[in-house]
Amino acid sequence: MSILLVDADITAYHAVAGAEEEIQWDEDTWIIHTDLSLAKEKFNRNIDKYRDELKCDEYKLCFSDSQNFRKQIYPQYKGNRKDRKPVGYSAFKQWAMETHPSFSKPTLEADDCLGILSTKLKGEAIIVSMDKDLMQIPGKFYRLGIDGNGEMLEITEKAGDEFFLTQCLTGDVTDGYPGCKGIGPAKAAELFKKHGCVWKTVEDAYVKAGLTPEDALVQARCARILRNSDWDFKNNRIILWKP
């Protein structure tokens, strides 16, 4: 029997944003109002939908912590994100974590929680998310589209490692870390084909670009979604990735 690991950041965000409504008080005064009861109904329907479609009774919600360890490694991480959370999001998140089985750890993002649990429960978990970054986590990944429908993917360890190393080179504009200057997905694929999809290829590319091995490691630690091997369960802390 599989367990669903749900990216609750995304599911909660969409539920609360969908319950927002603009209200006009007078000619010049507008407010935004959120009916959290509607958001809760939508959220619960989506969780039930995932469970029905994937035939799983057991599930766990994964939420991001308010702090993010990557910002200590690279202060610019996600510094380009200025969008506000929907009105009532914090209260909704508290309700969801108290109502549903959930998992969150200090300084971790929801992606990290998903990656840690999925690799700990090897072969027994299905990740449910829209986030492409989870393509680097070996296992079953039910990737959601913008229409709410999903596609089941089976990520091998080799494919997951290749996706991770590619992101080390290309960076991620959305998450605000640049990778290696001048290298996009096509160039990264070319380098890996020529020199092998290994860390040395990544490091050499940074050095050739006038950067350092330390620069490469910082970008890798931004890119890496944590796995079971990257988390110290006994001491409840991160084991920073090393090549």
Q: pLDDT, tens digit, for every residue of 81-104?
A: 777 899 999 999 999 999 999 999
pLDDT at 116: 98
Q: Tell me the pLDDT band of 27, cut-offs 50, 70 and 90.
A: confident
What percent of the chain clears pLDDT 90, i.e. is strictly above it?
A: 90
Mean pLDDT of the chain: 95
Distance CA 210, CA 225 (A): 26
Is 80 a residue whose pLDDT tops 80? Answer: no
Nearest residue to 139 via CA among 109, 116, 171? 116
In this structure, which amino acid lies at residue 208? K
Matching residue, tokens 């998992």: 103
SS3 88: coil
pLDDT at 123: 84
Q: In this predicted model, what pLDDT tens digit does every residue of 98-131 receive, in sequence order?
A: 999 999 999 999 999 999 999 999 889 999 999 9
Residue 155 · residue 138 · CB < 8 Å? yes
Q: Tell me the pLDDT band of 159, cut-offs 50, 70 and 90.
A: very high
Distance CA 152, CA 55 (A): 13
Alpha carbon distances (Å) from 143 to 61, 129, 161, 184 = 16, 5, 18, 23
SS3 32: strand
Q: What is the pTM of this model?
A: 0.93
62: number of Cβ within 10 Å = 28
pLDDT at 135: 97
Distance CA 192, CA 166 (A): 9
What percent of the chain clears pLDDT 70, i.e. is strictly above it?
A: 100
